[in-house]
Amino acid sequence: MVPVVSIVGKSDSGKTTLIEKLIPELKRRGYRVGAIKHDAHRFEMDHEGKDTYRHFHAGADTVVISSAEKMAMQKRVARQLTINELVEQFVNDVDIVLTEGYKSADKPKIEVFRSAVHSAPLCTDRDNRIALASDVDVDVSVPRFHIDDAVAIADFIETTFLKK
């Protein structure tokens, strides 16, 4: 099973920005990286009018578009798939997966906390939080990194999950 680390935090804490820095840092080190985002709303990935959009909105259960460089897929599901199901079926060809969100799943979590936006972190010690990335010093029982220090956080991810 591919190791999974969840990047969690309250809304607007900077989860996407941190992931956006971690991915190239991990890629630079030679790892293949997957990213999974939890969506609680109704996302619309495709562009209205495109052929794939028309196929999907005509009722197709799954649509795929494939080129020599990449492929994309949309699939209707009967229920929210778990992280493990998504990784096993669709992201099994990478070295590590970062998820954005999925606080309630049981994967190890790095919390992003910005005191400029929120007064307290999201997680408690029961949330399997393995590190905190924050803009201020916080008294926590796990390693703490500066929110902008993607190199140190990538070091931590590498040591914890990739060089065991």
Query: From the CB of 88, what's the least distance to a copy of itself, in Å?
Result: 12
Which of 1, 11, 30, 71 touches a copy of itself (CB under 8 A)? 71
Which of 1, 11, 30, 93 touches a copy of itself (CB under 8 A)? 93
User: In whole angstroms, how far apart are CA 157 and each of 15, 45, 97?
Assistant: 15, 29, 11
Per-residue mark of binding to a copy of itself, 28-47 (x: CB under 8 A): ----xxxxxxxxxxxx-xxx
Query: From the CB of 10, what's the least distance to a copy of itself, in Å?
Result: 15
SS3 of 55, please? helix
Query: From the CB of 8, what's the least distance to a copy of itself, in Å?
Result: 14
CA 30 to chain centre: 19
Nearer to a copy of itself, 78 or 120 (CB): 78
Using CB under 8 A as the binding rule, the residues of this chain from 105 to 164 that contact a copy of itself are none
Q: Is 60 in the site for a copy of itself (CB under 8 A)?
A: yes
User: In whole angstroms, how far apart are CA 119 and each of 13, 110, 127, 136, 138?
Assistant: 11, 18, 18, 11, 11
Q: Per CB under 8 A, which region of 84-92, 118-126, 141-149, 155-163 contacts a copy of itself? A: 84-92
Residues 116, 135: contact at Cβ < 8 Å?
yes
Q: Is 72 in the site for a copy of itself (CB under 8 A)?
A: yes
Q: Look up residue 148 and give its two tokens.
A: 């902008």
Residue partners of 75: CB distance under 8 A and separation at least 6: 61, 62, 63
